[in-house]
Amino acid sequence: MRQPLDGIRVVDLTRVLSGPFCTMLLGDMGAEVIKIEPPGKGDPVRAQGGIRDGLSWYFASFNRNKKSVELDLYGEEGKAQLAKLIQTADVLVDNFRPGVMARMGFGPERLKQLNPQLVTANINGYGSTGPYVDRPAFDFITQAMSGFMSVNGRADQEPLRSGQPITDLVAGLYAAFGIVNALRARDINGKGQHVESAMLNGILSFMAYLGSEHLMSGELPPRTGNDHPLVAPYGLYKASDGEVAVAPSNEVILRRFMRTIGLEELLDDPRFDHNDKRFARRDELNALISQRMQSETQATWIERLNAAGVPSGRVQNLAEVFADPQVLAQEMVMEVEHPGHGTVRMLGFPVKLDGTPCRVRLPAPDLGAHNDEVLGALRDLPQRAANDD
């Protein structure tokens, strides 16, 4: 065995982002992922973002370790092929709105009949029960509705969306987690089941202390920009050639911070000897700190502070991130050969297993590249009747 999901076949009906991210994670762990795409067109992401040598790098980076098979799921022939494929599968993933699979003729009863051990998964916007079940979803909208935007941004300005399409990715990652759990349950009890991951639920589960504090107190957490809502000092301070992010998360680390910058005596100053006082006089304190930190460069402070045990770093843009020696040491940028389309640089594996590590076994496939291989193997499989729905 080389990977945790060796021998697991995933039939992947997903498109765009949340679903392809989920199935990429499964593929990285060793699953055989068969991406079903509309004939001649494929996943819309194939045409999105920059195209080089005929390949969208956005598509390439989310569809590694997958095979591509074209099936027209609006037609009887395509549906018959899908039914056969499902008979051979361990997992079926879609990111349609709840109910779409049933309307296509693949409701829960039919799926159970085709393959009683199948693990099915649906990634959706709002869940499959409740008043919004039929609403179309999109990352920006679930960011707005979940409360994420209400806590993101500056105190004096409007709520802001995240720059990352975060609700898609969180939902995809939760779905992958749920699917592997369902596979482990099946390993033991022999039964398939249905997994559901909703964008709204996923991002809401990331509310952490903001959620628990509100549920206790009924108070609304403020937007605080780069300031901490409760602690000072904290934030970005100006060194001679740029800013330094500092986060002294407790009194011990705060003392280390103030000692390292030569301002430890302020912690005994009656103006600043308690967090409440520091918080109330935050602007005054921050000015003193920034004034002192002007004496050295960003790099010097970051080195000294980290050496003293104070979490510290700089705000990096993507060019700086992808040149960062730590990011490179962690192999978070990979080069993957795509025959006919050159070498694609893409993000690496975020979770590392030392015994059965993630690998790139296949580059992102050309549309329909595996039609013959996958559909050919179904030829001798008997067709089962579609007698429900």
Site residues for its own copies, 169-228, by CB under 8 A, read 169-170, 173-178, 180-185, 187-189, 191-198, 200-202, 204-218, 220-221, 223-226, 228
Backbone φ, ψ for residue 207 (5° rounding): -75, -20
Q: Which of 40, 38, 32, 31 is nearest to 15 (CA)?
A: 38
Piece of the chain touching its own copies by CB under 8 A; list 77-85, 279-287, 317-325, 376-384: 317-325
> 242-246 and 235-239: which strand pairing?
antiparallel
* Residue 44 beta carbon to its own copies: minimum distance, rounded to whole angstroms: 7
Residues numbered 332 to 351 that lie near its own copies (CB under 8 A) are 332-333, 345-348, 350-351
Does residue number 44 form part of the binding site for its own copies (CB under 8 A)?
Answer: yes
Does residue number 232 form part of the binding site for its own copies (CB under 8 A)?
Answer: no
Q: Which residues lie closer than 8 Å to 81 by C-beta, 6 or more apart?
A: 71, 375, 378
Residue closer to its own copies (CB basis): 69 or 123 = 123
Residue closer to its own copies (CB basis): 18 or 81 = 18
Bridge partner list, 68: 35
Residue closer to its own copies (CB basis): 116 or 376 = 116
* Residue 76 beta carbon to its own copies: minimum distance, rounded to whole angstroms: 25
Residue closer to its own copies (CB basis): 81 or 298 = 298
Catalytic residues: 228
Does residue number 29 form part of the binding site for its own copies (CB under 8 A)?
Answer: yes
* C-alpha of 173 from chain center: 6
* Residue 342 beta carbon to its own copies: minimum distance, rounded to whole angstroms: 11
Residues numbered 99 to 118 that lie near its own copies (CB under 8 A) are none
Q: Enter the DSSP assignment of 128.
A: S
* Residue 23 beta carbon to its own copies: minimum distance, rounded to whole angstroms: 13
Bridge partner list, 35: 12, 68
Q: How far is CA 90 from CA 110, 192, 329, in A?
A: 15, 8, 35
Q: How far apart are alpha carbons 250 and 227 in whole angstroms?
A: 15
Amino acid at 2: R
